[in-house]
Amino acid sequence: MAKKQQENLPADVARPDSLGGMARRLASPAHLAALCRWAGDTVRQEGFEQLWRELDFRVSLALHKDKWQHRADQPTRRRLKAQRRNPLNGPKISLVVPVYNTDPAFFAQMVASVRGQTYPNWQLVLADASDEAHPEPGLLGRRAAGKDERITYLRLEKNEGISGNTNRGFAQAEGDYIALLDHDDLIYPNALYEVAQEILRAGADLVYSDEIVLSADLKELGGYHFKPDFAPDNLRGCNYITHLAVFSRELAEKAGFEERSEFDGAQDHDLLLRLTEQAGCIRHIPRVLYIWRGHAGSTAAGIQAKPYALEAGARAVQAQLDRLGMAGKAECLAGAPGAFRVRYELDARPLVSVLIPNKDHTDDLERCLSSLYAKAGYDHFEVLVLENNSTDPATFAYYETLPARYPRCRVERYEGAFNFSAVNNFGAGKAAGQMLLLLNNDIEILTEGFLAEMLSYAQRRDVGCVGAKLFYPDDTIQHGGVILGINQTAGHSHKGHPRDAVGDLYRLVTTQDFMAVTGACLMVKKVLYEAYGGLDEEKFAVAYNDIDLCLKLWQDGYLNVYTPFAQAYHYESKSRGLDDSGPNAQRYAVEKQNFIEKYGPLIQAGDPYYNPHFNNKFENFGLK
């Protein structure tokens, strides 16, 4: 599992806020009034402790500090008391802990964190395989079991490895739900209450939460793992779920109620892959409930501490591909320990129709075409240059040269005012391919096998649209997937990060599921494009048409996928200019309002692939 990566970013990208900026906003009467209302509501609902935490946390962020102890989602004394006064009538949750030569202090803290739960209906199973040189876990475990009948201590005759020891613990679990807890980690006192509440509310058979990585002494922040809701491609790229994960006994029995020793080091990843395949309702609690202790020998301190886990993780992903009949090869991702890439095999050779709207700017178009033909990695494609309102005679002279230099390339002329949606819909109607690639003329393809990579995802029956990883010419990120709700509408994931950044939880370097991807480079099955009406020519002539198409597909259960293994430069609307400035501003404002009116409920609900701990004002995964 990757830690949250700390990128070397310019201050305005890494921390968009500043103490001066905050002071200016605080000075406005409107903001002061809103702040007073917020403070009053916070005190009434959560008490002065919560108000102090939130204020201190916000000021700390403005000073480029991070007081993790004062995060807004950390339970207050008032909340914990309320949970104890109002116990839930929920399922028994068995926490299974494989124990091996555990530091006595760590062990005692782990047990205490379970005993301190506000939810009382739990069982703690301690499966101890410590050697004779480490008797302390046994002494502490027996003592704890003697004090609390909810604790089961099991002394194992031999060490069967982490999977074997865990399985022995599973056999002693009495609960309707099972959770895994590492022998040197802790859970917050409200952890099981929050989980049980979600089980009762949603009928979930798999629940997981956010987590925090702390130093061995629990004083220094190592990183946050603020996770997305369930995303199958993300999980194949990185075990982002890990802790705290709680699953029903019924689900475990469907998936094979065991951890498998051939995946030791990545046994939890393998188990989670199997569980998610069978789960009927997966719920993510966007609240930190688990403390992952980072110390020498722990994967929280860096998975390099257990190099055997890397290959085991790739094998676990491969095993899922084989189970699901998804032809492909899983491999470890170089430069990103704990991350994986799947190279899907092409199951057919469909014709891909590449649609490139163009107005003059033949130098841009030539760069786009030459890079496409050089690096497609797949030769069964046609190119339709969609001519629209060029005025330079040299442009038409250039068009005459295309068929001789670029096989299967032709020019189709669209008559009418510029309407990006209409131009592409016109091109789709002329296309012979079973796949469509919408491609801006200001794209320069960088990676070998570009077309084959995008096709390998677009061919999947569960996939709607596929997007690429796009860079600005200054080698910063322009597109790594689209996040709904940024600046009231949508924004690009990790925009402005350095080209070599790995992103939050490896999200820039592993395949990801998103609600949408950009139409600057978007592949989709033609049958889906036509079935969902193509791009909306009336409401979204230029802006938001790509996101609108993606959202229509997503709402019907299709995955929209971003692959970082198809990379290109994007020179950002050179032919037509930027949407939100100059003569385009009025048209953009209308289309933005159309988008808000159509997708307001989705925006209000929040993007499931974007954790609510992150802010909605910037595209940098900065804390809210």
Evaluate whether 399 touches 383 at the Cβ level (below 8 Å).
Answer: no
DSSP 431: -
Of 93-102, 183-192, 502-511, 578-587, the one with minimum mean pLDDT is 578-587
Single out the residue of 52, 115, 121 nearest to residue 88, CA to CA. 121
Q: pLDDT digits over 127-170, tens only?
A: 999 999 999 999 999 999 999 999 999 999 999 999 999 999 99
The terminus-to-terminus CA distance of the chain in angstroms comes to 24
Domain covering 352-605 assigned CATH 3.40.605.10 in the classification:
no
Mean pLDDT of the chain: 90
Of all residues in the chain, the percent with pLDDT exceeding 90 is: 79
Q: pLDDT digits over 40-51, tens only?
A: 876 777 777 667
pLDDT above 50: residue 11 = no
Please give the single-letter amino acid code of residue 324.
L
In this chain, the answer to whether the domains covering 88-303 and 352-605 adopt an identical fold is yes
pLDDT of 42 reads 66
Q: pLDDT digits over 564-606, tens only?
A: 999 999 997 544 445 555 667 889 999 999 999 999 999 999 9
3-state secondary structure 538-577: CCCCCCCHHHHHHHHHHHCCCEEEEEEEEEEEECCCCCCC
Instruction: Tell me the pLDDT band of 37, cut-offs 50, 70 and 90.
Output: confident
Single out the residue of 467, 452, 464, 465 nearest to residue 350, CA to CA. 452
Using CB atoms within 10 A of its CB, is residue 406 exposed (0-12), middle (13-18) or buried (19+)?
middle
Give the integer Cα–Cα distance in Å for 169 and 440: 56
Domain boundaries, the chain: 11-72, 88-303, 352-605
Give the integer Cα–Cα distance in Å for 74 and 129: 34
Give the integer Cα–Cα distance in Å for 570 and 286: 34
Q: Could you tell me how far CA 523 lies from the centroid of its own chain?
A: 20
170-181 average pLDDT score:
97
pLDDT of 140 reads 95
Tell me the residue length of the chain: 624
Give the integer Cα–Cα distance in Å for 229 and 554: 14
Domain covering 88-303 assigned CATH 3.40.50.300 in the classification:
no
Of 27-36, 82-91, 596-605, the one with minimum mean pLDDT is 27-36
Q: Percent helix, strand, coil in the chain (nearest 5)?
A: 40, 20, 40
Query: What residues are paired with 525 via a beta bridge?
Result: 435
> Phi/psi class of residue 85: alpha, beta or left (left: φ > 0; alpha: ψ in -120 to 50)?
alpha
CA 589 to each of CA 21, 482, 577, 593, 597: distance values in angstroms, whole numbers, following the listed order? 26, 19, 15, 6, 12
Give the integer Cα–Cα distance in Å for 423 and 386: 7
Evaluate whether 420 touches 587 at the Cβ level (below 8 Å).
Answer: no
| Contacts for 59 with CB less than 8 Å, ≥ 6 apart | 19, 22
Give the integer Cα–Cα distance in Å for 134 and 207: 34
Enter the pTM of the model: 0.89
